[in-house]
Amino acid sequence: MKNACSEHVSDCVRTLPGAGAQAVAHAARELAGLVSSPFDPGLPAQVDARARELAPELGEVFAPPGAAGAAVISGLVLDNADLGPTPQDWSHAGVRSLSADIAMMLLARCAGVPFGWQGQQAGRIVNNVVPAAGHEDEQTGASSATLLAPHTEDAFHPRRANMLLLGCMRNPDLVATTLSSVRQVQLDEAHRRLLAAPTLPILPDISYGAVPDTGAAPTVSTLWDGPQGPTLRYDPAYTPLPRARAEFRAAYEALTTELERVSYTVALEAGQLLLVDNDVAVHGRVPFTARYDGTDRWLKRVNLRLPQRLRDPAEAAEDGYGQKLVEPYAAAPGRRPSPRPHPALVGAR
């Protein structure tokens, strides 16, 4: 595994314009004073209005990453006193970090259409990723002691995010996120054909509750040529591989080996954002020892839809295992002002 994203992509390091970053922090503080929780029904309209003002300056920073499938964005303004200690699990991330949640919503709204899941973290739009005692060895964001295997976020669902925005509140031990782009792997045509054929299901991860593998779940493609290029839907921890024929398993293993070969790590620092193209890159996390003392690694995560990016029509028939979206911004399409092209994005989609 390489340890520098700059070896893989030239446009993976970006910076929020200083005035824009301050404007986000100011707007977030102001809105946090007007609402009492991130579920306030009036909040999306307020965020929409502020994001329309901010997007001309900030939108270009959130353009989809290039071939590396991810970009680090520096400059998020944080207030440690407002944040308070790292919560002991997502459910304890209370109103103290409300202005940070609203800042993430504002930035996410500049990047696309934020959404949440009814079955995950009580439907929050901004999820909290923190290590939780008793979950150290799970394949979820609450884990710590185990390698969080590379995966497409919510790969089981046909309406999974096109992009993820991760905001680092703190990461004192510089625990690294791992990334691998399907646009950088090399596979022979026979393996690509096998991986494009819907062969196995991907089951929901346990953060949504256990779903038994009944054998009736819809099979999905793993890697195919989408309108923008090679596209990936990959989550080996929740894919019943033993059920497949040997030749498919060999192709899947070749893909896994290639994803490992091209993988790189990003150790986010407080105030940095990570924009991940969820159709292009898989992400994971190296193992670490959780502190459980209020100073642990703390990320805030937002799922984003890009309305201009269409999914494979074959996915439309999938029911997503009954998991429903929370979409307070879905009724406001087309409000994101078109940003100017980022000078560092030559060659990006």
Nearer to Fe ion, 153 or 279 (CB): 153
Site stretch for Fe ion (CB under 5 A), options 66-74, 145-153, 178-186, 244-252: 145-153
Nearer to Fe ion, 194 or 299 (CB): 299
Rounded to a whole number of angstroms, the minimum distance from the CB of residue 93 to Fe ion is: 17
Nearer to Fe ion, 99 or 121 (CB): 121
Rounded to a whole number of angstroms, the minimum distance from the CB of residue 297 to Fe ion is: 14
Whether the CB-CB separation of 110 and 54 falls below 8 Å is answered with yes
Rounded to a whole number of angstroms, the minimum distance from the CB of residue 149 to Fe ion is: 10
Give the binding-site size for Fe ion (rule: CB under 5 A).
Answer: 1
- Alpha-carbon gap, residue 39 to 47, rounded angstroms: 12
Window 10 to 29, contacts with Fe ion (CB under 5 A) = none
Q: Can you tell me whether residue 32 is helix, strand or coil?
A: helix
- Alpha-carbon gap, residue 319 to 335, rounded angstroms: 29
Site stretch for Fe ion (CB under 5 A), options 24-32, 152-160, 260-268, 318-326: 152-160
Nearer to Fe ion, 129 or 194 (CB): 129
The neighbour count for residue 214, using CB atoms within 10 Å, is 8
DSSP state of 244: S
Among 48, 60, 153, 154, binds Fe ion (CB under 5 A): 153
Nearer to Fe ion, 75 or 150 (CB): 150
CA distances from 38 to 201, 221, 230, 333 (A): 34, 36, 36, 21
SS (H, E, C) 132-192: CCCCCCCCCCCCCCCCEEEECCCCCCCCCCCEEEEEEEECCCCCCEEEEEHHHCCCCHHHH
Nearer to Fe ion, 57 or 153 (CB): 153
Rounded to a whole number of angstroms, the minimum distance from the CB of residue 1 to Fe ion is: 17
Question: Applying CB under 5 A, which residues contact Fe ion?
Answer: 153
